[in-house]
Amino acid sequence: MSGMSARILKMLRNNRDYISGEDISAELGVSRSAVWKSIGKLRDKGYIIDAVSNRGYRLSEGIDLPISDEIHRYLETECFGSEIVYMDSVDSTNNLAMTLAARGAVHGTVVTADQQTDGRGRLGREWISPPGTNLYLSIILRPEVSPAGASQIPVLSVMASIKALERTVSDLPFRIKWPNDIYCRGRKVSGTLCEMKAEIDRVNHVVVGTGININMKLPDDSIKDKATSLLVETGNEYSRVRLAVFLLEEFERVYKRWLIEGNLEFIIDEWNSFSLLKDKQIEVRTANRTVRGKALGIDLNGALKLELPDGSVRFVYAGTATLHGASQGS
Ligand code: BTN
């Protein structure tokens, strides 16, 4: 944002009432038409600014677009989100983040969008991404670890998501469904898609893309039994900007600790305490087979520990888990 737009925005924020174009131009020492142009630029960015003749301009409350300026008003991180690229509409924030990462975007760069036209979930599934409602956020990471080490990152990101959700609504029963879904009362409220560009022994970059259903009303029959949103669960609307801030703060916190500790031990007990599947009989579909057993929780690598009917323990690294013979609810 240009220096003038930023100063006008500050004046508008500091005044609940209208400020005349004349007062703004006198304060900033610029022409009325320059003020008008900057107001236009702020509107292009998504700010809703009322203009009334003889009174001037007033910033309307309630802008809730996950744009850089809004997120930076609240964000307290060292590097996650220090660069934020916002799109009104994009095919997928993960696609754009992978492209930016390949072009050299710095560690911690974030991509957000108001809507996605081709939002992607795990295993080639669609992620429904209407405008004006939910959070779609991807972050570029450049961890100096092996590709196997980077496969622990989804454990960190889902912990960050659940903590961000709890900071937003403290009294809903959020649960993690391995590997990185978050459920609330039997329906999915958040999912994460982690993608990586790596060589055999070194990671170029990782993109962690998180979708959180916040203010979506779920009109679509195809998802109404499977998906939910904070609005559906509570009847209240929540700020996408605040959730983005909480997510980045929580993610940076666990990520830094993980780099220091060098493994997931510090987080396993807490992760397991949120687990929807722990101690339940489940079925896990992997690429080439289906395994049944009792979920014991995750191990140091983020693999799911399964106790098979013969008492042996198997570690499952990737797959889709379902509760065996029961609903997904907590
Ligand atoms: C899943 O549950 O299967 C993962 C869903 C991940 C959705 C998010 S929304 C932001 C980012 N962009 C995408 O296209 N997907 C992820």
Structural domains in the chain, CATH included, are 3-61 (1.10.10.10), 68-273 (3.30.930.10), 281-323 (2.30.30.100)
Task: Report whether pLDDT(327) > 50.
Answer: no
For residue 134, report the distance from its CA to the centre of ligand 1, in Å. Answer: 12
- pLDDT of the residue at 220: 67
Any ligand 1 atom below 6 A from CB of 177: no
* pLDDT tens figures, 31-78: 999 999 999 888 877 677 888 888 899 887 656 889 998 899 899 999
- pLDDT of the residue at 324: 72
The pairing of strands 174-177 and 181-184 is: antiparallel
Give me the DSSP letters along 108-122. T-EEEEEEESS-B-G
Q: What is the mean pLDDT of residues 283-287?
A: 89
Report the C-alpha gap between 105 and 102 in whole angstroms: 7
Any ligand 1 atom below 6 A from CB of 229: no
pTM of the model: 0.86
Mean pLDDT, rounded, of the chain:
91
Any ligand 1 atom below 6 A from CB of 130: no
Any ligand 1 atom below 6 A from CB of 211: yes
Share of the chain above pLDDT 70, in %: 95
Any ligand 1 atom below 6 A from CB of 193: yes
Atom of ligand 1 at shortest range from CA of 123: 3
Reduced to 3 states, what is the DSSP secondary structure of residue 17?
A: coil
Report the C-alpha gap between 283 and 76 in whole angstroms: 41
Half-sphere exposure of 304 (CA within 13 A, CB side): 33
Any ligand 1 atom below 6 A from CB of 138: yes
Any ligand 1 atom below 6 A from CB of 293: no
- pLDDT of the residue at 41: 86
Any ligand 1 atom below 6 A from CB of 210: yes
Pick from 164, 185, 198, 270: nearest CA to 174 = 185
Please report which confidence band the pLDDT of residue 111 belongs to, taking 50, 70 and 90 as the band edges. Answer: very high
- pLDDT of the residue at 328: 45
Share of the chain above pLDDT 90, in %: 74
Q: Which of 210, 229, 251 to mutate to test the pocket of ligand 1 (most atoms within 8 A of CB)?
A: 210
Task: Report whether pLDDT(139) > 50.
Answer: yes
Task: Report whether pLDDT(225) > 80.
Answer: no
Any ligand 1 atom below 6 A from CB of 191: yes
Report the C-alpha gap between 155 and 257 in whole angstroms: 13
Q: What is the mean pLDDT of residues 251-262?
A: 96
Report the C-alpha gap between 210 and 188 in whole angstroms: 13
Better pLDDT: 62 or 105: 105
Going by alpha carbons, the residue nearest to atom 7 of ligand 1 is 211
For residue 329, report the distance from its CA to the centre of ligand 1, in Å. Answer: 21
Phi/psi of residue 140, each to 5°?
-95, 125
Which class for 195: exposed (0-12), middle (13-18), buried (19 or more C-beta within 10 A)? middle
